Structure 1
Amino acid sequence: MNAETLLLQRNSHPRLVAPAPTEEQMTFIYNSALRAPDHGNLRPWQIIEFTGEGLNRLGTLYQQGLMTRQPDADDALLNKVKSMPLRAPMVLAVIAKVTPEHKVPVIEQIISAGACAQNIILAAHAQGLGAMWRTGDVAFDPVVAKGLGLEPQDQIVGFIYLGQIEGRTKPIPEHNLNDFVQRWS
């Protein structure tokens, strides 16, 4: 796939099925992720990969976080949250490993981790895989962060769901560039 097609046709895919990406595909994806812009060569990223039983463990963390945030959550909601990671055969947690006292501002470190996540999605698409970047309450939950072994200053920038595309892809929306671009001449 050429770069133009990749950049203009990339789309999120909410319906992802097994099999999970192969080791060869993941090597390409990880090598692509690590090419994200990185002011100061801090490499402010960590990626945690979940497959198999790891997806269930992640779901249990999501559920524990919900029980802390909403002690009165009913069983239906608890079960829904616990099953969220099972929407794909692989989930990657992309973490900004922040160094607050560094001369590179924290926001740049977080943006770099976001660029790492974007590279994961683009690399997955280039490999013919589907990907979906998700956040929601679980990405900002201190119980989930602690369960993942994160330091207090670290931030989850997203959970990237990966797998084979199931069903039709959703249409790619058209955008009016003038809604987003200002030109100063």
Structure 2
Amino acid sequence: MMTDALTLLRTRKSPKVFDLAAPGPSPTELDQILAIASRVPDHGKLAPWRFIVFEGDGRARAGEIIAGVFVNDNPEADADRVAIERNRLMHAPLVVAVVSRADAHAKVPEWEQTLSGGAAATLVVLAAHALGYAATWLTQWYSYDPRVRAGLGLGEGERIIGFVHVGTLARPQEDRPRPPLADIVTRF
């Protein structure tokens, strides 16, 4: 079992979002992914994150919100450019937004709560990989735009940690170079 887990961790990579295709996870598999993602370290048991699932028509409705904000800020944009924004969540059959709801707390710093949300996003990626899917975690400009966040139903203090696009790999992916350990590890 340990070898399988290490192989899983060693082989995970982020494909280009354009290389994700159907099928995506079934409803049961999605529940597994989200249940696994909720098992992250969470000092104080605050669950300072939540998930928004975009699938089917929901991806297109979210795309209309993203495109609407883009057009508002870029009225001169041509139809092709607007279509890129409209289709941001359409490449993979499933997109999970990981939302941080970190807040001031007497014992748990906000930074620690945000890191817990980042860990949740990482586990969405790893759980999808463990089930045989590929996943890519993206942010992009619309993750940070308050109008898009409001349009997607986020509250005032909530932020998007990332959109995790999940699907079946449409073509093999080459692994990118990883930093040599000598460049990133020091010993104290």
Normalising by structure 2, we get a TM-score of: 0.92
Cα separation, partners in 2 of 1:68 and 1:107, compared to 1, 3 Å:
farther
Matching residue of 1:3 = 5
Matching residue of 2:30 = 26
Q: After superposition, what is the alpha-carbon deviation per residue over 1:63-114, rounded to whole angstroms, capped at 9, x for unaligned?
A: 1221243343332211111011111011111100122345311111111111
Deviation at 1:126, TM superposition (A): 0.5
Matching residue of 1:130 = 134
The yes-or-no answer on 1:168 pairing with 2:144 is: no
Matching residue of 2:185 = 181
Equivalents in 2 of 1:43, 1:171: separation in Å? Answer: 33
SS in 2 for 1:48: strand
Match of 2:15 among 13, 17, 32: 13
Maintained 8 Å contact 2:24/2:133: no
The yes-or-no answer on 1:59 pairing with 2:51 is: no
Cα separation, partners in 2 of 1:98 and 1:68, compared to 1, 3 Å:
farther
Maintained 8 Å contact 1:65/1:142: no
SS in 2 for 1:178: helix
Q: Which consecutive unaligned segments of at least 5 residues does structure 1 have?
A: none
The yes-or-no answer on 1:151 pairing with 2:164 is: no
Q: After superposition, what is the alpha-carbon deviation per residue over 1:100-157, rounded to whole angstroms, capped at 9, x for unaligned?
A: 3453111111111110000000000011101000101011011111012212211100
Normalising by structure 1, we get a TM-score of: 0.93
Matching residue of 1:82 = 86
The within-5 A match list for 1:104-123 is 104-123=108-127
When the two structures are aligned, how many residues end up with a matched partner? 184
Measured on the aligned residues, the alpha-carbon RMSD in Å equals: 1.5
Equivalents in 2 of 1:24, 1:102: separation in Å? Answer: 37
Equivalents in 2 of 1:104, 1:67: separation in Å? Answer: 40
Cα separation, partners in 2 of 1:100 and 1:151, compared to 1, 3 Å:
farther
